[in-house]
Amino acid sequence: MRRFTSLLFAGGLAFLLFSLVATLDFGDPPMRIGSGILAQAPAQVGTANIVTAVVLAYRGIDTLGELSILFAAATAAGLVLARPGRAVSAPKPGGFVLRVGADLLLPLLVVIGLYIIAHGHLTPGGGFQGGVILAAAFFLPLLASPGREPTHAGLSLVEGLAGGGFILIGLLALWQEGAFLEPLLGTGQLGALLSGGTLPLLYLAVGLKVGAELSALLARLMGEGHDVGD
């Protein structure tokens, strides 16, 4: 019976996919929405990177949902890893090369992460990519010299302010009788750093939130690697 059900499902799925493909013209995909966004986004939003216009302006509520999922995943992982009463061995510091390399790479990675966040509305990149680089930048000193990781209270403060700022900008757009997360402050000159209205501020909030959450999670995983049991 289970095999028959699986075959029936596979047959129905194949028929559905075949029906969808048969209605499409070969080599001429119907990009109705995509064509409209490509034509109108530069003037409406003011971003040279159309992906940013889609992620933060046209479907900003979905991006807020993605941030909520990341927050829930990081919180769940932290609750699982932070077992009360466990014994943790003191991690050994890294060698000279690792410590010096971490000190040299920290400012470089911070600058690169902030650059990618600040230019996300102009070039490929943005808050998610830059936030990951920021998290890696603050994780390097932890690998080289355990105990130098950012405090949990500090990371929580940055994460809370970034998430609250993202939502506040969206509410300000509603207060201005616009759509949620609709760009404010004008579009500016296309291709300039100060363009896209509030979209660079949204990407800054996303980058700080992602960086803080991943930094806290990596610090938890680092401590889990030195768990010696009860």
pLDDT digits (tens, 9 = 90+) for 44-71: 888 888 888 888 888 888 888 888 888 8
Confidence of residue 28 (pLDDT cuts 50, 70, 90): low
The tens digit of pLDDT for each residue in 96-132 reads 777 788 888 889 999 999 999 999 888 888 889 999 9
**CA 117, CA 122: separation in Å to the nearest integer?**
10
pLDDT of residue 31: 67
Is 181 a residue whose pLDDT tops 90? no
Provide the 3-class DSSP secondary structure of residue 91.
coil
Counted domains in the chain: 1
State whether residue 88 is helix, strand or coil. Answer: strand
Compute, in degrees rounded to 10, the torsion defined by CA atoms 174, 176, 179, 180.
-40
Rg (CA), the chain: 23
| pLDDT value for 230 | 43
Averaged pLDDT score across all residues of the chain: 80
- Position with higher pLDDT, 201 vs 25: 201
Domain enclosing residue 171, as ranges: 2-229
Give first-to-last CA distance, the chain, whole Å.
48
Among 206, 33, 215, smallest CA distance to 120 is for: 206
